[in-house]
């Protein structure tokens, strides 16, 4: 589904990603872990299409298409979803209208008719129940005055509504207390399916107690320095990143 080959990326002339390779197949859950500053958020930004990042080398295929040549909105319409680490507050735009616009822009792109009001409301109700989000949040402006947990729940709700093929969850666990984390993780688990891939980006192993990944990769200094199964995450939790980063630094000397 997603094939990343030798990606190098800069921001403001500073090289952050230095040759990333990753293959993700439908139905798989991958976790990318790594210490602060290793390039985790840069990777998600490059995949989602933030224009301030410059890709200098490498390619990304998403469902056979050249992802990097598409603008951010077309990536979303093709089925890529980024749950933001810091969801943006947008006063004056109602969450419901926003999601309706997003759903219908995607349908238009795919050559489908827009959803009528009844079908849209039915879909909203279904997904609201699935991710345990309250109607009152959705009638407010996008994320305005939401708590950290509410913002993340809203991200998962949008993911449910947009039914992406690949969801990238950027530090979705950050800033959540244990109850909020459980609710958010439950929502994500309900969205796991055999035709959907999930890429979890996280600093801590904590999230992976709730969402069990098939593969775990460690990102360090802009490269994936180790890959393994979920046991790798447990080992990181126990031993910290040092045993991997030191080995990587040694190899680079």
Partner 1 sequence: MNATYFKDQFQQLQTENDTVHLAALRAGSFGTFDQKGFPTTKLEEWKYTNISSLFDKEYQISPFTDNPASLAAAIEEIQLPEHTNANVLYFVNGRYEPSLSIIRSTIEELQVMPLLQAASAGFQEIIDQHLGESSVYLKDGIHALNTSFITDAVFIHVAAGKELSHPVYIYHLADAQHQAILTQPRSLVYVSKRAKIQIAETFRTVGTMDSFSNAVMEVVVAQDAFLEYYKLQNDAAHTSQVSSTHIHQTGKSHVHTVTISLNGGLLRNNLNMILDAEGNETHLYGLSLLKGKTHVDNHTLIDNKHPNCFSNQLYKNIADDAATGVFSGRIIVQPDAQKTNAYQSNKNIILSDQATINAKPQLEIFADDVKCSHGCTVGQLDEEALFYLRARGISRELAEVLLLQAFATDIVEQVKIEPLRQHIDTLIQQHLSIQ
Per-residue b or e along 17-27, where b marks 16 or more CB atoms closer than 10 Å to that residue's CB: beebebebeee
Q: How far apart are CA 159 and CA 157, in angstroms?
A: 5
Question: Is 48 one of the binding residues for partner 1 (CB under 8 A)?
Answer: yes
Give the number of other Cβ atoms within 10 Å of residue 12's Cβ. 8
Cβ 223 to partner 1, closest distance in Å?
26
Q: What would the two tokens of residue 14 be?
A: 């500073």
Cβ 252 to partner 1, closest distance in Å?
34
Cβ 152 to partner 1, closest distance in Å?
14
Question: Is 190 one of the binding residues for partner 1 (CB under 8 A)?
Answer: no
Among 5, 8, 18, 50, binds partner 1 (CB under 8 A): 50
Across the beta sheet with 166-170, what order do the strands follow? 80-83, 166-170, 197-202, 29-33, 215-220, 223-228
Whichever of 88 and 178 has its CB closer to partner 1, that residue is 88
Among 93, 115, 128, 248, binds partner 1 (CB under 8 A): 93
The pattern of x and - marking residues 139 through 178 that bind partner 1 according to CB under 8 A reads: --xx---------------x---x----------------
Contact 102, 156 (CB under 8 A): no
Whichever of 84 and 220 has its CB closer to partner 1, that residue is 84
Length of the chain: 253
The span of 12-20, 43-51, 199-207, 208-216 binding partner 1 (CB under 8 A) equals: 43-51
CA max distance for the chain: 63
Question: Is 188 one of the binding residues for partner 1 (CB under 8 A)?
Answer: no
Q: Tell me how many helices (H) and strands (E) the chain has.
A: 10, 12
Q: What would the two tokens of residue 186 be?
A: 């439950």
Picking from 221, 93, 201, 104, the residue whose alpha carbon sits closest to that of residue 162 is 104
Residues 101-120, interacting with partner 1 (CB under 8 A): 101-102, 105-106, 109
Contact 153, 87 (CB under 8 A): no
Whichever of 60 and 99 has its CB closer to partner 1, that residue is 99
The span of 97-105, 111-119, 175-183, 240-248 binding partner 1 (CB under 8 A) equals: 97-105
Q: How far apart are CA 146 and CA 153, in angstroms?
A: 10
Whichever of 28 and 78 has its CB closer to partner 1, that residue is 78
Q: How far apart are CA 96 and CA 233, in angstroms?
A: 37
Question: Is 100 one of the binding residues for partner 1 (CB under 8 A)?
Answer: no
Whichever of 84 and 241 has its CB closer to partner 1, that residue is 84
DSSP 8-state code for residue 156: H
Whichever of 99 and 219 has its CB closer to partner 1, that residue is 99
Site of interaction with partner 1 (CB under 8 A): 48-50, 71-73, 75-77, 82, 84, 87-88, 90-93, 97-99, 101-102, 105-106, 109, 141-142, 158, 162
């Amino acid at each position: 589904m997603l094939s990343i080959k030798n990606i190098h990326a800069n921001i403001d002339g500073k090289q952050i990603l230095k040759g990333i390779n990753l293959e993700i197949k439908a139905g798989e859950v991958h976790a990318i872990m790594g210490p602060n500053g290793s390039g985790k958020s840069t990777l998600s930004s490059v995949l989602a299409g933030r224009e301030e990042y410059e890709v200098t080398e490498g390619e990304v295929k998403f469902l056979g298409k050249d992802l990097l040549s598409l603008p951010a909105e077309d990536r979303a319409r093709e089925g890529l979803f980024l749950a933001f680490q810091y969801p943006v507050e947008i006063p004056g735009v109602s969450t419901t209208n926003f999601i309706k616009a997003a759903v219908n822009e995607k349908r238009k792109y795919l050559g489908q008719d827009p959803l009528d009001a009844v079908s849209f409301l039915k879909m909203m109700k279904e997904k609201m129940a699935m991710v345990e989000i309250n109607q009152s949040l959705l009638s407010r402006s996008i994320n305005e005055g939401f708590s950290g947990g509410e913002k993340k729940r809203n991200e998962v709700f949008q993911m449910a509504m947009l039914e992406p093929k690949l969801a990238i969850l950027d530090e979705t666990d950050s800033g959540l207390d244990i109850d909020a984390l459980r609710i958010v993780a439950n929502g994500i688990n309900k969205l796991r399916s055999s035709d959907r891939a999930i890429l979890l980006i996280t600093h801590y192993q904590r999230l992976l107690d709730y969402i069990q990944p098939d593969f775990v990769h460690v990102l360090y200094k802009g490269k994936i320095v180790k890959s393994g199964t979920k046991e790798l995450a447990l080992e990181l939790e126990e031993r910290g990143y040092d045993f991997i980063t030191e080995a990587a630094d040694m190899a680079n000397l």
